[in-house]
Amino acid sequence: MGRVTSRHKVVRIDLDRETTRSIDTVAGEEPLEIRVNGETFTVTMRTPGADVDLAHGLLRAEGVIAQREDVLSAVFCSDLDTLNVLNLTIPGRSVASAATGTRNLATLGGCGLCGTTAVEAVESVVSDRPPEVVWEAASVVAALDELRTRQQVFAKTGGTHAAGLAPAPAGTTGPDSPVKLAIVREDIGRHNAADKVLGAALVGEVDTRGGLLVMSSRASFEIVQKAAVAGVSVLACVSAPSSLAIEAADRLGVTLVAFARGRRLSVYSHSHRIPH
């Protein structure tokens, strides 16, 4: 799998058994510098692969772009061996203008920044609340089950998160309605996995509005932000939510599901979209 995984020597110590030596497969992690019109926008640590999708998803979440046509080109810079610098050409935008949104707010640790300020910054980027699409609980469970079966890198390494997108159904869903994830991506960072999925949807013109985004991770504010900007109606995560994630989901109109394990779900906001 190339740079997605790598092999390393490991000494396995078991206090009840003898020590062994073997070769372990681990998830790849490298920095990716994302540039906008030649200027550095951000540097993120990610698992190499689907980098163009990641950049589109990130820039969409930050309100820099709204559609695929906003990006004229996405080109890796001169480092052909590692491909860790990606430049996107976006007419009429600069790092100075692009960096005034939620990305700056998310990186500040003080200066009076509070949860309400962060949510308000996302509200300024979100044009419309997610549509009122109903998703049966059984459909959410089925999507999470499929996500687990498609985590190929995790199966090899145990070190990546996954995200998957199911577009909104043509009609209402029922307990027996088939659910298929149109896009699945993995990354060592949960936010990167979300960006890769939503970016792939933007590039491939897969409609995210009203859709279901499933995550193998906890539910954080950043994941809710990305879902809301993409118009996702239901965000389902296998682990716990944070307080700010719940507050943001409530205000931004996203149905937030957490502790989605087996046949059990905990719905923290806008539960009317999941019949119960």
Q: Is 111 a catalytic residue?
A: yes
Look up residue 168 and give its DSSP letter. Answer: P
Q: Tokens at residue 65, please? A: 């772009």
Cβ partners under 8 Å of residue 42, min gap 6: 33, 34, 58, 103
What is the number of helices (H) and of strands (E) in the chain? Answer: 9, 12
Residue with tokens 């502790």: 259
Domain ranges of the chain: 30-125, 137-273
Spatial separation of the C-alpha atoms in residues 34 and 175, rounded to whole Å:
42
Beta bridge partners of 215: 163, 237
The type of residue at 246 is I
68 is in an annotated binding site: no
Fold match, 30-125 / 137-273: no
pLDDT, tens digit (0-9, with 9 covering 90-100), for 16-43: 999 999 999 999 999 999 999 999 999 9
User: How crowded is residue 276: how many other Cβ atoms within 10 Å of its Cβ?
Assistant: 8
Pseudo-torsion of CA 227, 232, 238, 243, nearest 10°? 50
Q: Determine if residue 264 is labeled as part of a ligand binding site.
A: yes
Quote the CA–CA distance of 186 and 199 in Å, as a whole number: 13
- Provide the phi-psi class of 47: left if phi over 0, else alpha when psi is between -120 and 50, else beta: beta
Contact (CB, 8 A) for 32 and 86: yes
Measured in Å, how far apart are the chain's first and last C-alpha atoms?
42
Using alpha carbons, select from 77, 32, 25 the residue that is nearest to residue 50: 32
Q: How far apart are CA 267 and CA 273, in angstroms?
A: 10
- Distance between CA atoms of 130 and 79, rounded to whole angstroms? 40
Is 148 annotated as contributing to ligand binding? no
- Find out if CATH 3.10.20.10 is the number for domain 30-125: yes
Residue 273 in marked binding region: no
**pLDDT tens for each residue of the chain, 276 residues long:** 458 999 999 999 888 999 999 999 999 999 999 999 999 999 999 999 999 999 999 999 988 999 999 999 999 987 556 689 999 999 986 565 554 444 544 443 334 455 667 788 888 778 788 999 999 999 999 999 999 999 999 999 999 999 999 999 876 555 556 789 999 999 999 999 999 999 999 999 999 999 999 999 999 999 999 999 999 999 999 999 999 999 999 999 999 999 998 889 999 999 999 987
Cα 236 to the center of its chain, rounded Å: 12
Torsion of CA 120, 121, 127, 132, to 10 degrees: -50
What single-letter DSSP state applies at residue 84? -
Phi, psi (degrees; rounded to nearest 5) at 106: -70, -25
In the set 77, 111, 114, 237, the catalytic residue is 111
Nearest CA to 228 out of 202, 253, 258 is that of 253
Asked whether 26 and 5 are in contact (CB, 8 A), the reply is yes
Q: What is the DSSP letter of 167?
A: P
- What global pTM score does this model have? 0.88
> What pLDDT is stored for residue 80 in this prediction?
58
Superfamily the domain 137-273 falls into:
Cytidine Deaminase, domain 2 (3.40.140.10)
